[in-house]
Amino acid sequence: MLKSLSKPISYPGPIVTIVMDGVGITPRVEGNAVAQANTPTLARLFKEYPNCLLKAHGKAVGLPSDEDMGNSEVGHNAIGSGQIVEQGASLVNQAIASGKLFQRDAWKEIVGNTKDRNSTLHFLGLFSDGNVHSHIDHLKALIQRAKQEGVKNVRIHILLDGRDVGEISALDYVLPFEKFLSEIRSSDFDAKIASGGGRMNITMDRYEADWSMVERGWKIHVHGEGRQFASAEQAVTTYRSEQPVIDQNLPGFVIAENGKPVGAIQDGDSVVFFNFRGDRAIEISRAFEEADLKAFDRGRCPKVCYAGMLEYDGDLHIPPRYLVPPPEIKNTMGEFLTASGISQLAISETQKYGHVTYFWNGNRSGKFSDSLETYLEIPSDRVSFDERPWMKAAEITDALIAELRTGKYRTARVNYANGDMVGHTGNLRAATIAMEALDLCLTRLLPVIDSLGGMAIITADHGNADEMYEIDKKTDQPAKSKDGKIKAKTSHTLNPVPCIFYDNQHKDAYQLADLPERGLANLASTTVNLLGFEAPGIWHPSLIRFR
């Protein structure tokens, strides 16, 4: 339970945390949808209200290095827990380097099943070094260890990225990897790429937004049903020659020899999904593990020994077998607030609903208190978000305003997905519209918070829409392809994110604290201070100090 401040300030209305997903801050205007958009409300907020910048990438959110882009999962973990917890990539790096991964029962079961049945070990996952969902070095380490332990046959099913790395960078990974495989092959060890496709076309759906993606991936990887090619290189180059498509949207493909797939998944095989991030790993894991899956007709469903790199959902135990234990994030803001009797609202659309609930609560499914917490999900559109860049921002705002006006909540949190999801399309014009839609929603929402006697912390979880062009590191100018067109950037950024204190009740009662560094993990302490409580000592310090 939280301890009350000796001299708390009191708000009649709610403390509302507004997460503008994918909205970073950088002085560069070219290719910057955040800067180019017509956002009069945000401009006024920066001018008239206390604000600062927060680190939202790298070590500030538990990632291995400051070269690592932040993401919505680690960002919401940090915001919701007040702590910097070593995240998936770091956990896997340590588990491989120490050898602990290979000492755990899960790995032993995967290898043992393969050897006992003289079957094939399949690796499936995002094929890049983006370090957001996966890292190709982890895949290589697992393949090398499998060979050392006597596995005879390995097949790799690659999901091409183009989102957390360059949008047409697939061959930068495929060609060196083929060389790696050629060097590791031997008379008693056979390893080949078996299938693949773009991450936004097959397999990697999340939040049950589009199960047909998983179904397409299932047919490609498991059944070996799809357009056949002699190699992954041939598949990529052929698809690119036929249509202007970036890596994340490449259709599925099957590698075949003499007209037969080289790596369809069979009864008795072992399968490792090597992504460490959970949101886009859960559905394919369910497809392999769930006996009565109703989301799509799997047809032939082989009995395999399946493992994820991590446990992607700790409460639903998806999957039951995993190679590296997940970070245990305890003492989160949600835990403390419910223990202290504080009513809470969490709301977003499908694409980010899990972030204001599961990830906010420290990778925990469900509520801490049914009576004190309300979670609302607005169904997302099932189209490419550059076609409807406003997404469900208006509907979220409608529902949020209605809930706040009930007077039931001391605090609320909302995620607007526009900056991130539209930013990922690489469409600068759509991203500026996304920002303008978001600004309009703030224009509607903030007066309601005022009328209720509340305040808002307006922030973000990482950057994205702030850099819609790839930048040439040599020239520091937008990078161009051979045809002279500017290369679109579809990945997150390393830029800091805003933190604005919209407060017309007590803005003179506090000021920004003089901290050596400010990051997302400072927001939990800040929030509970504004609610009238001392922050737990295990959290990072508050961004404010009272006058």
pLDDT (tens place) for every residue of the chain, 547 residues total: 999 999 999 999 999 999 999 999 999 999 999 999 999 999 999 999 999 999 999 999 998 788 888 989 899 999 999 999 988 888 999 999 999 999 999 999 999 999 999 999 999 999 999 998 999 999 999 999 999 999 999 999 999 999 999 999 999 999 999 999 999 999 999 999 999 999 999 999 987 889 999 999 999 999 999 999 999 999 999 999 999 999 999 999 999 999 999 999 999 999 999 999 888 999 999 999 999 999 999 999 999 999 999 988 765 789 999 999 877 799 999 999 999 999 999 999 999 999 999 999 999 989 999 999 999 999 999 999 999 999 999 999 999 999 999 999 999 999 999 999 999 999 999 999 999 999 999 999 999 999 999 999 999 999 999 999 999 888 999 999 888 999 999 889 999 999 999 999 999 999 999 999 999 999 999 999 999 999 999 999 999 999 9
What local confidence, expressed as pLDDT, does residue 314 receive?
A: 62
Of the candidates 306, 312, 310, which has an alpha carbon nearest to the alpha carbon of residue 278? 312
Distance between CA atoms of 470 and 490, rounded to whole angstroms?
9
Distance between CA atoms of 276 and 324, rounded to whole angstroms?
9
Q: What is the DSSP letter of 221?
A: I
3-state secondary structure 359-405: HCCCCCCCCCCCCCEEEEEECCCCCCCCCCCCCCHHHHHHHHHHHHC
Helix (H) / strand (E) element for 30: namely none
How many C-alpha atoms does 251 have within 13 Å on its Cβ side? 17
Query: How far lies 14's CA from each of 180, 360, 394, 532, in Å?
Result: 56, 18, 20, 12
Helix (H) / strand (E) element for 348: namely strand 344-349
Cβ neighbours of 363 (radius 10 Å): 25
Our answer to whether residue 72 is catalytic in this structure is yes
What are the tokens at 374?
């309300």
What residue has token string 């006996």? 291
- DSSP, collapsed to helix, strand or coil, labels residue 300 as coil
Name the amino acid, one letter, at 10.
S
Domain residue ranges in the chain = 15-87+328-546, 89-324
Helix (H) / strand (E) element for 8: namely none
Give the residue ranges of DSSP H helices in 38-98: 40-48, 72-81, 88-98
What residue has token string 């056979």? 190
Query: Are 307 and 322 spatial neighbours (Cβ–Cβ below 8 Å)?
Result: yes
Q: Which is catalytic among the residues 4, 72, 212, 343?
A: 72
Q: Measured between alpha carbons, how far apart are the two ends of the chain, in Å? A: 25
Burial class (CB in 10 A: 0-12, 13-18, 19+), 336: buried
Query: Are 280 and 204 spatial neighbours (Cβ–Cβ below 8 Å)?
Result: yes
* Nearby residues of 257 by Cβ (< 8 Å), 6 or more positions away: 230
Instruction: Give 25-31's long-range contacts (Cβ < 8 A, gap of 24+).
Output: 25/53, 25/463, 25/466, 25/495, 25/496, 25/497, 25/498, 26/463, 26/466, 26/467, 26/493, 26/495, 28/467, 30/469, 30/478, 31/428, 31/467, 31/468, 31/469, 31/471, 31/478, 31/486, 31/489
Name the amino acid, one letter, at 115.
K
Distance between CA atoms of 12 and 412, rounded to whole angstroms?
14
Question: What are the φ/ψ torsions at residue 105 (nearest 5 degrees)?
Answer: -60, -35
What residue has token string 């204190």? 501
Distance between CA atoms of 433 and 436, rounded to whole angstroms?
5
What are the tokens at 187?
């008379």
What local confidence, expressed as pLDDT, does residue 149 receive?
A: 98
pTM of the model: 0.79
Give me the CATH code for the 15-87+328-546 domain, please: 3.40.720.10
What local confidence, expressed as pLDDT, does residue 435 receive?
A: 99
- Alpha carbon 381 to its chain's center: 18
Q: Is the dihedral of CA 55, 61, 63, 69 positive or negative?
A: negative
Name the amino acid, one letter, at 360.
W
Give me the CATH code for the 89-324 domain, please: 3.40.1450.10
Question: What are the φ/ψ torsions at residue 43 (nearest 5 degrees)?
Answer: -60, -40
Query: Are 2 and 340 spatial neighbours (Cβ–Cβ below 8 Å)?
Result: yes
What are the tokens at 392?
């469900």
* Bridge pairing between strands 270-273 and 305-310: parallel
CA-atom Rg of the chain in angstroms: 24
What local confidence, expressed as pLDDT, does residue 179 receive?
A: 99
